[in-house]
Amino acid sequence: MVKDGIISKKQLSRSVALVAISGNDYYGNTGVIGLSAPNDINAYIAKVTKEIADNVDQLQNLGVTKVLVNNLHPVGCTPSQTRTSNYTACDVFGNLGASVHNNNLKQVMEAKKNVHVVDLYTAFSNIVNNVPGTSRAIQAIQAEVFAVL
């Protein structure tokens, strides 16, 4: 659109871009896309967050001066992940994956100028914080598992 003159460089310089990812981007019909073993998750998440960073670079190289990138919401609390508990508890490992993604995303975005991470994880957690499965006990388990990774 820039090459065709539909969007001018001046318009880009005054624009705000949103780079959005959702938990669905990680899941396919049989679980996490592209993984043959659970240990692959860190490498896979690193690839995803690197690709997001590369896309932000491309936007900035085009002339977009302000970029927002959302982090992942607590995907373990989505209906598809809570179905097995009759929607009464969040999936600890789904939320752990989101936490790993969000930490990686924060690290790759920190050095970028005029890039801001929209914290969906905290916003959604504040809404569902009273749901069974997001208690301090579950968060403690997440912290222990995350420390091992």
CA angle 66/67/73 to nearest 5° reads 145
**How much of the chain exceeds pLDDT 70, in percent?**
75
* Helices 92-109/120-128 angle, 10° precision: 150
How large is the average pLDDT for residues 37-45?
Answer: 76
pLDDT band at 147, cuts 50/70/90? Answer: low
State the average pLDDT for the chain: 81
For residue range 92-124, what is the model confidence (pLDDT) as tens digits?
A: 888 888 898 999 999 999 999 999 999 999 988
- pTM, rounded to two decimals: 0.77
pLDDT at residue 148 above 70? no
pLDDT at 50: 95
pLDDT at 84: 86
pLDDT at residue 32 above 80? no
d(CA 149, CA 139): 15
How far lies 95's CA from each of 48, 49, 74, 127, in Å?
Answer: 17, 17, 5, 15
**Cα four-point dihedral sign 18, 21, 22, 28:** positive
For residue range 8-31, what is the model confidence (pLDDT) as tens digits?
A: 889 999 999 999 988 766 765 445
Which of these, 118, 105, 104, lies nearest to 149 by C-alpha position? 104
For residue 124 the two structure tokens come to: 């959604």
Q: Identify the DSSP state of 6.
A: S
Residue identified by tokens 């929607």 is 87
How far lies 80's CA from each of 28, 86, 90, 115, in Å?
Answer: 12, 10, 10, 31
Residue identified by tokens 């995350």 is 146
How large is the average pLDDT for residues 82-96?
Answer: 84
